[in-house]
Copies of this chain bind each other. A is one copy, B any other.
Amino acid sequence: MKRSDRLVAMTNYLIEHPMELISLPFFSETYGAAKSSISEDLAIMNRIFQADGIGYLASISGAAGGVKYIPAMSSEHSNQFIEKLCNDLADPTRILPGGYLFMSDILGNPNIVRNIGRLFASKFANLEIDSIVTVATKGIPLAYAVASFLNVPVVIVRRDPKVTEGSTMSINYVSGSSKKIQTMVLSKRSLQPGENVCIVDDFMKAGGTINGMKSLLQEFNANVRAIGVLAEAEDEEEDRVVDDYVSLVQIKNVDDNNKQIEVTKGNYFY
């Protein structure tokens, strides 16, 4: 295969297999080229991936070595993306009765969701995450987006047990903001003991739901290595029950009466 053909095929292959160690002999055999030519191809791809701000190729040397595509987002793109997100969310027509915010259109856009996934994946790429855990319903697309870049499975915690989940583990917890007792269940088959997990959700107020997930995950002997939320609500009056998290945006001063809202960058960039 000619270099031009190989570059197209290998770029596609690497993008479709993020975080996966691929040996040079595999590329060499698949594309019928000498290892030295493959190394040159990889150098070109690494340079362009970095120039485009989509990540880089990590080389692992030795007999069991190879190359791994680590997805990332350049700080320039990250800043632009988050700023646009803040502007979109600050649209006062989003304010719902009770000071809630309509976000379903943003969570329904696969490009936005994919970029959110890329942002969290860049942040958590070195934590050796085994699974992404989220709670139904709105966190699900974000969890899959992160998972697709980290190349790990998604595990969905539910509010209600369903027959198709098989045996489940269940916990009761107290919601952080409403102080109501709620239930969460997780299928027994969904996690192996000792897995490193990353919790992903769309929104965090006091953090009761995420704290509930942490308790549930303790029952599975899972290690919560990271927590990522799209939006956190500033909530002065209450003590937040979760402190170690990464947020992309922070929602402040939702004023239902005057239809005003303030949205700023979250702690992602700190």
Contacts and interface: CB of A to CB of B under 8 A. Distances in A.
B110 A153 contact: yes
A110 B189 CA distance: 17
Interface of A: 3-5, 7-9, 11-12, 15, 44-45, 47-49, 51-52, 54, 96-98, 100-105, 108-111, 113-114, 136-138, 140-141, 144-145, 147-148, 151-156, 158, 163-166, 187, 189-190
Chain A interface, DSSP helix/strand/loop, else mixed? helix
A134 to B, nearest CB: 10
A206 B165 CA distance: 20
A109 B4 CA distance: 32
Nearest to A20: B111
A135 to B, nearest CB: 10
Contacts of A141: 140-141, 144, 154
Contact of A47 (B5, B11, B187): B5
B5 A11 contact: no
A162 B151 CA distance: 32
Contacts of A103: 164
Nearest to A17: B111
A53 to B, nearest CB: 11
Contacts of A156: 104, 108, 137
